[in-house]
């Protein structure tokens, strides 16, 4: 077995401690989330809490792909986090990534980052209509998303649970992206690509209307065009999402 490890420069002094956390990952650490797909655990590194994400073991084909043809999800998460920070986009501080490989391909991989305590995620804005300062947060989030687009960053997993939100001392909100392994980077993002990037966030028409209004203010583009395009893409996404969910339910029924 071969082990590939890369540390952020300011964390290389903790390589022994972090390697021990990864080695004992199966039995140690505090489980964070449900762990149904990828497993996330929390560890204490001196006075700091860190987050170690163990990616689901890939199937045989992906084992080969992730070793010889494409970067692993852990490596992409680490590298994309650094690109975000270089562009002054919020994300938990990247610490390291580990890859265990054999001649057959990638065995398992881990992404290690700062564990960020947040006040909410975008999901709360969807699920709790009377969440305090709901519209203020939503409009500031739209500014955050527009900034991503202006910098040519297409966050492919721009979905409700993947933006952490913290309220700053000045009353403004800060936004931090997580689940970073799927991104594209452009010199510029066409209108259709930007709208598609926002269509997975909420099924609520009133939220889409607020985001469209704020996006139009920032961009100078037609509010009507933004709303009509974004709402159509949102409706299409929701239809496909629930159709897929129903199909999975039927397939699980026949397996029983």
| Strands 105-114 and 48-54, bridge-based pairing | antiparallel
DSSP 152-209: TEEETT--GGGEEEEE-TTS-EEEEE---S-EEE-SS--HHHHHHHHTTS---HHHHH
Query: At a CB cut-off of 8 Å and minimum separation 6, what does 233 contact?
Result: 195, 196, 198, 199
Region of poorest pLDDT, from 40-44, 61-65, 202-206, 219-223: 61-65
pLDDT (0 to 100) of residue 171: 82
114 contacts 51 by C-beta, under 8 angstroms? yes
Number of Cα atoms under 13 Å in the Cβ half of residue 100 = 13
DSSP H or E stretch at residue 239: helix 223-255
Task: Render pLDDT for 93-143 as a digit per residue (tens, 0 to 9).
Answer: 999 999 999 888 999 999 999 999 999 999 999 999 899 999 999 999 999
DSSP 27: T
pLDDT-derived band at 243 (thresholds 50, 70, 90) equals confident
Considering only CA atoms, which of 102, 133, 104 is closest in space to residue 119? 133
What is the token pair recorded at 116?
């960020």
pLDDT (0 to 100) of residue 248: 64
d(CA 71, CA 80) in angstroms, rounded, equals 11
């Amino acid at each position: 077995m071969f082990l590939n490890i890369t540390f952020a420069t300011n964390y290389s002094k903790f390589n022994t401690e972090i390697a021990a956390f990864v080695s004992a990952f199966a039995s140690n650490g505090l489980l964070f989330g449900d762990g149904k797909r990828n497993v996330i655990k929390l560890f204490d590194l001196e006075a700091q809490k860190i987050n170690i994400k163990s990616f689901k073991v890939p199937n045989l084909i992906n084992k080969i792909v992730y070793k010889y043809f494409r970067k692993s999800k852990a490596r992409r998460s680490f590298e994309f986090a650094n690109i975000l920070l270089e562009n002054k986009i919020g994300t938990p501080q990247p610490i390291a990534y580990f890859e265990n490989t054999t001649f057959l391909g990638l065995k398992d991989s881990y992404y290690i980052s700062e564990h960020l305590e947040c006040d909410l995620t975008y999901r709360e804005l969807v699920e709790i209509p009377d969440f305090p300062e709901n519209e203020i947060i939503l409009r500031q989030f739209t500014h955050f998303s527009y900034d991503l687009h202006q910098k040519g960053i297409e966050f492919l997993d721009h979905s409700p649970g993947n933006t952490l939100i913290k309220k700053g001392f000045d009353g403004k909100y800060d936004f931090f992206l997580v689940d970073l392994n799927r991104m594209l980077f452009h010199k510029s993002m066409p209108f259709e690509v930007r709208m598609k990037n926002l269509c997975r966030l909420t099924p609520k028409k009133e939220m889409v209307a607020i985001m469209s209004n704020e996006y139009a203010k920032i961009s100078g583009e037609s509010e009507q065009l933004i709303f009509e395009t974004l709402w159509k893409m949102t409706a299409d996404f929701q239809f496909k999402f629930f159709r897929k969910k129903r199909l999975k339910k039927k397939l699980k029924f026949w397996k029983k």
